[in-house]
Amino acid sequence: AKMENHTRISEFTLVGFKSHPGSQLLLSVLFSTMYIVTVVGNVCMILIIRMDSNLHTPMYFFLENLSTLDICYSSVITPRATLAFLLGRRSISYNGCASQMFFFSLFGTTEAFFLAVMAYDRFTAICNPLLYQVIMSRRLCVLMVMGSYLSGCINCTIQTSFTFSLSFCGRREINHFFCEVAAVIHASCSDTLVNELVMLAVCGSIIVGTALVVFVSYGYIIITIVQMPSAESRHKAFSTCSSHMVTICLFFGTVFFMYAQPGAAFSHNKTNTISVFYTIVIPMLNPFIYTLRNREVQRSLKKQLKK
């Protein structure tokens, strides 16, 4: 009975960003605006790619999937957080918290793998241009997207099951604005050392693994671009990669800061602010980064608007 008493709690309270009551309205306006921009921007990106047959290439296939992922990723967190700031409803049910963590981990992990896949795609396009169509076949592209989601599934199942096997007693407050793994672990009254080690090992290896693929690919890409004979071809090659590089630096920079260092779970205000960056700001920026830096997408957009 004593154990029962410990584990059966029905809800948590999310207390992230609660310290400034005056800023709650501002936060809700900010979050909802960013969410609308994210959805509209990414939906436009998907439509542009769908409607223009010139964009039916591996690079845009991955971009379309990235946009879909960003909408899902943002939808798991932002609407709920916006309502919490607006209405002050900060409680989340035990199951609601578990499912939010599950989907957040799923989409977050998948995004890291997508960025690695996209780096490999750019590497093949620039370093093996003659074999590009052969290597990046439709089948391989679909398999890579499915593999990314599968990896996301494995990670989110591990994270969620490990975290929710902990017991939660009196202190049901989660110092975050959504059910993020480290914050929920920190709210437990069990010994969480094993959980923290699992989180560090699994998240750390995913982040380091995908980041390695990205950096090795870009190392080769930069060497190849530098060796190109004409300035025009160098510029063209660089402009197809620069947008992807921006996204990668933003995503891996923030995520590395959050998960790939021991004790990452413990300075709350800093981690709350950084979380806003990778859960809300990056999905919002992606469509702009890719359209503003991309001539093909701009041409396609003009063509669609003329129609």
- Band the pLDDT of 2: cuts 50, 70, 90: very low
In a domain, 2, yes or no: no
pLDDT at 214: 93
The total domain count for the chain is 1
CB 190: neighbour CB atoms within 10 A?
A: 15
Q: Is the pLDDT of residue 23 over 90?
A: no
> What spatial distance separates the first Cα and last Cα of the chain, rounded to whole Å?
69
Least confident range from 24-28, 30-34, 71-75, 110-114: namely 24-28
11 phi, psi to nearest 5 deg = -155, 165
Name the residue range of residue 76's domain. Answer: 13-306
Comparing 88 with 83, the larger pLDDT belongs to 83
Higher per-residue pLDDT: 143 or 300: 143
Residue 171: pLDDT band (50, 70, 90) is: low
pLDDT at position 1 is 33
Instruction: Give residue 39's pLDDT band: very low, low, confident or very high (50, 70, 90).
Output: very high
Is residue 7 domain-resident?
A: no
Mean pLDDT to the nearest integer, 117-135: 92
Any domain includes 8? no
pLDDT in tens, 98-115: 999 999 999 999 999 999
Q: Is there a domain that residue 271 lies in?
A: yes
Q: Is the pLDDT of residue 88 over 90?
A: no
Asked if residue 125 belongs to a domain, the reply is yes
Average pLDDT, the chain: 85
Here the CATH number for the domain that contains residue 215 is: 1.20.1070.10
Report yes or no on whether pTM surpasses 0.75: yes
Residue 195 maps to a domain: yes
Asked if residue 266 has pLDDT above 60, the reply is no
pLDDT digit string, tens, across residues 198-255:
888 898 899 889 999 999 999 999 999 888 888 888 888 887 788 788 888 888 888 7
1 located within any domain = no
Residue 239 CA to residue 255 CA, distance in Å, equals: 25
For the chain, what percent of residues have pLDDT higher than 90? Answer: 39
pLDDT at 262: 57
Q: How confident is the model at residue 7 (pLDDT cuts 50, 70, 90)?
A: very low
User: Would you state the structure tokens that stand for residue 288, as one six-digit string?
Assistant: 């702009």
| DSSP string of the chain, one letter each residue | -HHHHHH---EEEE-TT-S-GGGHHHHHHHHHHHHHHHHHHHHHHHHHHHH-GGG-SHHHHHHHHHHHHHHHHHHHHHHHHHHHHHH---EEEHHHHHHHHHHHHHHHHHHHHHHHHHHHHHHHHHHSGGGHHHHS-HHHHHHHHHHHHHHHHHHHHHHHHHHTTS---S--EESSSS--HHHHHHT-SS--HHHHHHHHHHHHHHHHHHHHHHHHHHHHHHHHHHT-SSHHHHHHHHHHHHHHHHHHHHHHHHHHHHHSSTTTTS-HHHHHHHHHIIIIIHHHHHHHHHHHT-HHHHHHHHHHHH-
4 in any annotated domain:
no
